[in-house]
Amino acid sequence: MSQFQFHFPTIAKCGAGLADQAGALLKPYVDGTLLVVTDQGLIDAGILAGFFASLEQAGIDYQLFSAVEANPSTDVLDAAVALLKERNCTAVIGVGGGSSIDTAKGVAAMATNPGNILDYEGYDKLTLPPLPIFAIPTTSGTGSECTASTVFTNKRTLFKTVIVSPRLFPRLAILDPALTLKLPAAITAATGMDALTHAIESYVSRQANPISQAMALQAIRMIAGSLEKTYFVGTDMAAREQMLLGSFLAGVAFSQSKLGNVHAISHTFGGVFNIPHGIANAALLPYVIKFNLPACPERFRDIAIALGADVTGLGVAQAAARTVDAVVALNQAIGIPATIRELGVDLEFLPQMVSDSMRSGNVLVNPRLTTARDVERLITDAYHGNL
């Protein structure tokens, strides 16, 4: 076993109804004014009423920034930082999906670090500690509440820039499945497949370790066992809880291992075409799994079993291939398109997509050695449905 490090400083509090107690849970950590970063849709839907009431009951002074967008850009980040500085906020909480939590992380970082968030692309480049960061996810997918990364789109180049630093781990994450009960089925599908992709890519990553792999495999079991129920029966609290915890475990796993080719490529789809991240991941996942099968068939056999596939009597390679079948079937069941063409990907942008994908550090930890030509073939296969 090679040397590895496992670092996870986030405190996680889990349970239905905890969002309504958030004020009391946050009170020991907040000294001053809290900036709440979220999106207006959650507020309009009344999902966060209990959360805001708890802040008032706890006597926490807060300011609200609710202009978060999908695939957040540096423009939105700049506006949030300006509000934070104008109101002298001393801590930041992201409440919502990955875009809200990622924006909160970026705000906290740029409140104390000079320059532009894009200056910190890559790993461990933040020079000063951010303001305290907290997170409450309202989807079961991104895992941003428990990772050391944040992602922003450069509107000029359409490149999704990934910033990774141990300083970006939230201090406290509150996991309340009740907040996910009203998720539309399409968002349940997209975020759930995002979480499943995290778990699968983490398990086979070259940088995986026994601790991250244990979490990733358990995440696969939990997500595979509950995603369809949350999609078809959205109000099932037990299934929602399994999805939220599975997403969290997958996030912890990939915070240690990084990811792989799916994320390297899907980030370009979000940047260039503004395709929702989870849908892009889901559509790409079967093609990347098939490409990676020869590199680690034993690990994909483990994944096939965790997905619920019957591999009785099969050899390692045959059992591993069942992973592709299981993911395709799950995508079909929850309405995920079979090709990226159906998502709006245009092969006219193929050179940029290949170049941007190869720029990702996730390619380096993908289990199978990957060249630019391989990425080009993966994209074209996923476009034409050549599985």
How many residues are listed for the chain in this entry? Answer: 387
Lowest mean pLDDT among 50-64, 68-82, 246-260: 68-82
Q: How far apart are CA 314 and CA 265, in angstroms?
A: 32
Give every CB contact of residue 248 below 8 A, 6+ residues apart in sequence: 12, 14, 143, 145, 146, 173, 175
Give 159's pLDDT tier (boundaries 50, 70, 90).
confident
The mean pLDDT of 57-67, rounded to a whole number, is: 97
Nearest to 382 by CA among 328, 340, 345: 340
| pLDDT of residue 8 exceeding 60 | yes
| pLDDT of residue 178 exceeding 70 | yes
Angle at 264 between CA 365 and CA 249, to 5 degrees: 70
Q: Largest Cα–Cα distance of the chain, in whole Å?
A: 65
Give me the numbers of helices (H) and strands (E) for the chain, helices first please: 15, 9
Q: Is 37 helix (H, G, I), strand (E, B) or coil?
A: strand
pLDDT, one tens digit per residue, over 72-109 is 888 999 999 999 999 999 999 999 999 999 999 999 99
Please, what CATH class does the domain formed by 11-179 belong to?
A: alpha beta
User: What is the predicted pLDDT for the residue at 200?
Assistant: 98
Residue 141 backbone dihedrals phi, psi, to 5 degrees: -160, -60
The mean pLDDT of 55-71, rounded to a whole number, is: 94
Higher-pLDDT residue of 272, 224: 224
User: What is the predicted pLDDT for the residue at 289?
Assistant: 98
| pLDDT of residue 138 exceeding 70 | yes
Q: How many CB atoms neighbour CB 313 within 10 A?
A: 7
User: What is the predicted pLDDT for the residue at 1?
Assistant: 57
Average pLDDT, whole number, for the chain? Answer: 95
The mean pLDDT of 46-56, rounded to a whole number, is: 96
Nearest to 278 by CA among 71, 43, 1, 10: 71
| pLDDT of residue 175 exceeding 70 | yes
Homologous superfamily of 183-384: Dehydroquinate synthase-like - alpha domain (1.20.1090.10)
pLDDT, one tens digit per residue, over 316-353 is 999 999 999 999 999 999 999 999 999 999 999 999 99
Domains in the chain: boundaries = 11-179, 183-384
| pLDDT of residue 155 exceeding 80 | no
pTM (predicted TM-score): 0.95
pLDDT, one tens digit per residue, over 275-318 is 999 999 999 999 999 999 999 999 999 999 999 999 999 999 99
Inter-helix orientation angle 185-204/261-273, to 10°: 140
| pLDDT of residue 16 exceeding 60 | yes
